Amino acid sequence: MPEGRARPLRILHVLRAPVGGLFRHVRDLARGQLARGHAVGLIVDSSPGATEAEAALDDLAPHLALGLSRVAMSRHIGWRDVSAIRHVSRRGAETRPDIVHGHGAKGGAYSRLVHGPPGIRVYTPHGGSLHFHRHSPLGFAYLTMERILEPRTDLFLFESAYARDAFLAKVGRISGTTRVIHNGVTAADLEPIEPAPQAADFVFVGELRRLKGVQVLIEAVAELASAGRTVRGVIVGSGPDAQAFAALASARGVKALIRFHGPLPAREAFRLGRLLVVPSLAESLPYVVLEAAAAGLPLLATRIGGIPEIFGPKTDDLLPPGDASALAKALAQALDNSPAYRARALELRQRVKAAFSADLMVDQVLAAYAEALSASVKLRSN
């Protein structure tokens, strides 16, 4: 907190869907802020999230001094945005937060378009708009909106240096306070995981959409099969491209080798495979990599987004995105050299334990709030 500020902060988090890494980040951040005595509230899309996320919201709700409210939020720009912005404005007026913290493209837009609440506006992109290109209609709309909203942002928090650099390249300069604060894992995440007795060769865990590279993984399995190597895997998750991926597995003749499973808690899903495959085409700083690394699970991942920041100086094993042949070769090598890959996994676990703590993440976010609040006070006094 800024010097001379004795009372707890009033923090209102705004996000759209309670799913995936974005929700995991907000959940851990809210819990940490509550544990440090701050008053916290959440505004979330009214559409239900995964069972685990809904349970987490139910667990948080009684402790939220600024309340938990749900309002319809569309994935892309639409008419629901008007009512959502009004809802966030009304909640801001009622709770009078010191911090309105928007997460993701939609949460970030709503938190910065509101009128009336005191305090400062904070934005964490979580990928969001940064996955788009300006030459596409949606990309043009989102990146133009980011430029319009940039002056209304007191503090930018990026999960990775990659996300910060992508924002600067696609949106332009940042006038507010800027900090890179990596996602973090908890003590529970650091409990080792062993594969189930009947575990498959690999497991994928995530949203089933092309951005996650599931199609590349299917092609890699097909390439190995055509060379006479049988590799079996489980794909855990749901998403807009689930049917297309199942159809691709059938078309490539590997339907019997790949089992599609609905969403599961990450640690439960990890036990379904001997190693985790993260074939993403775009990421910021994915929790699934942090969680697998924290649990000591061997993994194969692409050299994309903030993933190299997790691996640090030892990034030789990271794979080129979109390259099914490279992934097929890496899969075969990892399965044939299991002890070596498990040793590498234990080294990565120690790095994550030391440098990617949820407590450190919470403390750094609160310190950034304090800095931005102090800057805001000085600006108003001049």
Question: What's the CATH code, domain 10-184+357-381?
Answer: 3.40.50.2000
Q: 136 to each of 111, 127, 143, 198, 382, how far by Cα in Å?
A: 25, 17, 10, 45, 42
Beta bridge partners of 14: 43, 102
Residue 2 has pLDDT above 60, yes or no: no
Torsion sign over Cα 243, 245, 249, 252: positive
Work out the average pLDDT over 237-253.
96
Give the range among 136-140, 217-221, 324-328 with minimum mean pLDDT. Answer: 136-140
Work out the average pLDDT over 120-145.
80
* Helices first, then strands: H and E counts in the chain: 14, 12
SS3 45: strand
Reported confidence tier of residue 114, pLDDT bands at 50, 70, 90: confident
Reported confidence tier of residue 379, pLDDT bands at 50, 70, 90: low
Compute φ and ψ for 39, nearest 5 degrees: -90, 125
Residue 380 has pLDDT above 80, yes or no: no
Residue 102 has pLDDT above 90, yes or no: yes
171-219 pLDDT, tens digit per residue, is 888 888 999 999 999 999 999 999 999 999 999 999 999 999 999 999 9
30-75 pLDDT, tens digit per residue, is 999 999 999 999 999 998 766 788 899 999 999 999 999 999 898 7
| 188-355 to CATH, choices 3.40.50.2000, 3.30.43.10, 3.40.50.720, 3.40.50.1980 | 3.40.50.2000
DSSP 8-state code for residue 185: B
Per-residue pLDDT at 145: 86
Percent of the chain scored above 90 by pLDDT? 75
User: Average model confidence (pLDDT) for the chain?
Assistant: 91
- The continuous run of DSSP H or E covering 100 comes out as strand 99-103
Per-residue pLDDT at 5: 46
154-181 pLDDT, tens digit per residue, is 999 999 999 999 999 888 888 889 999 9
Highest mean pLDDT among 3-12, 36-45, 81-90: 36-45
Look up the pTM and report it.
0.90
Residues with Cβ < 8 Å from 242, sequence gap 6 or more?
208, 260
Instruction: Tell me where in the chain the CATH 3.40.50.2000 domain(s) lie.
Output: 10-184+357-381, 188-355
Spatial strand order in the sheet of 68-71: 68-71, 39-45, 10-14, 99-103, 120-124, 155-158, 177-180
SS3 152: helix
Q: Which two tokens stand for residue 3?
A: 């010097």
Reported confidence tier of residue 3, pLDDT bands at 50, 70, 90: very low
